[in-house]
Structures are given as structure tokens and as C-alpha cells.
């Protein structure tokens, strides 16, 4: 699976000491499939470049190949997500967290038509506490065939099938008979 972080829009300028020296933010995004990864835990964390020009409406166009960390089991788990975290790069004080969003696996698969299809998705940013934040993130997701190659079809082993014979117990749908046993129309299902 390939994900492209296209842009963000409507971000809020930070109100801090560093904003006195700069009139705009320098945002970048990290993405991972584990919820607690951060800048300090670099395991499978991908990072966009810092956009020094865009300010509150940055654009990146950075592509990431997630095939090493996402396989088809990712799509079978209803809680699977790609986590995006937005930061601003402050010159003196280091990165500052601006917001986050998740891309659920089901959103990627909804509307999937065929292998190689690119799908554009947009998500509202959330504040650290999960409340509604400022801005949106726009991404494009492209699925590859290797994710959806299912298991090979297995032919049944006829040597392990039970023998067919009469007089064995059968399991079926219970049927209630009416008082007239011979009348087929009187069967009630």
C-alpha cells in the first residue's frame, strides 16, 4: 500500500514564544500504524519534509510505501488505523504537536474498485485530547495486489470425508407437522 500526504488546510497558527519570531508555522506530519509512536519512538514512523512556505495551508506530496508494515491482516482487524500526527518545527524549541487524525482500514477499502486504484481521503484534525481541532489533512491511498492475494484454494481430501450410508443421524431444519400426516401442504416451517 502506498500513501501520499498531499496537503493540509485551515491550520491554526501557534500561540507561543516562537511565534513572535516567525509569522507562520512550519508543519510536518508523521504517520504510523501503532497509536503510541511519536517522534521519540522511531519504530516504523514515516515523516514528511517540513513545509517552510505553506504556513496554515501546507502541501507536501510525499509518498510512503507501507507494504513492509501493512499486510492483508491489517484490513481484517476492525480497529486497524493509520495514525497521522501533525507538528510544527520550531527553530529554538523543537517540534510542537498541532493535531492528529486516524485513517481507519475500512475507509481505505470502502469504494475500492480494483488493484492500483488511487483514492483521495480527507480527515479533520483532532486536538491532543481528541476534541475537534483546526484544519484538515488530505491524503491519497493506492492499494497494491500483494495485499489482496488470498489463500490458495484447497481441494478437499476425499479420503477424509465420512462414508455415505443410511440410518445415520441427520441434522436439519425442524419442521412442525399438522394433524394430517399425509398432506404435504400441512407442513409448517
The predicted-structure confidence for 150-162, as pLDDT tens digits, reads as follows 444 445 555 555 5
The predicted pLDDT at position 189 comes to 46
Neighbours of 176 (CB within 10 A): 8
On the 0-12 / 13-18 / 19+ scale of CB atoms within 10 A, 55 is middle
Q: Is the pLDDT of residue 169 over 90?
A: no
Query: Does the model's pTM come out above 0.75?
Result: no
Domains identified in the chain and CATH numbers: 2-147 (2.60.40.150)
pLDDT attached to residue 75: 85
- Residues 106-110 have a mean pLDDT of 86
State whether residue 184 is helix, strand or coil: helix
As a whole number, mean pLDDT of residues 63-73 equals 87
Amino acid at each position: 500500500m502506498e500513501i501520499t500526504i498531499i496537503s493540509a488546510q485551515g491550520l491554526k497558527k501557534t500561540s507561543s514564544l516562537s511565534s513572535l519570531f516567525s509569522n507562520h508555522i512550519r508543519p510536518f506530519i508523521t504517520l504510523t500504524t501503532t497509536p503510541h509512536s511519536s517522534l521519540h519512538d522511531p519504530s516504523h514512523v514515516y515523516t514528511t519534509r517540513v513545509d517552510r512556505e505553506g504556513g496554515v495551508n501546507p502541501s507536501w506530496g510525499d509518498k510512503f510505501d507501507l507494504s513492509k508494515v501493512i499486510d492483508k491482516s491489517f484490513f481484517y482487524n476492525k480497529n486497524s488505523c493509520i495514525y497521522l500526527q501533525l507538528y510544527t518545527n520550531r527553530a529554538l524549541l523543537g517540534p510542537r504537536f498541532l493535531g492528529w487524525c486516524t485513517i481507519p482500514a475500512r475507509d481505505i477499502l470502502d469504494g475500492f474498485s480494483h488493484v492500483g486504484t488511487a483514492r483521495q481521503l480527507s480527515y479533520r484534525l483532532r486536538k491532543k485530547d481528541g476534541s475537534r481541532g483546526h484544519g484538515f489533512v488530505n491524503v491519497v491511498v493506492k492499494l497494491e495486489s500483494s495485499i489482496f492475494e488470498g489463500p490458495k484454494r484447497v481441494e478437499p481430501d476425499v479420503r477424509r470425508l465420512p462414508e455415505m450410508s443410511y440410518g445415520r443421524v441427520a441434522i436439519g431444519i425442524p419442521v412442525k407437522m399438522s394433524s394430517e400426516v399425509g398432506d404435504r401442504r400441512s407442513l409448517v416451517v
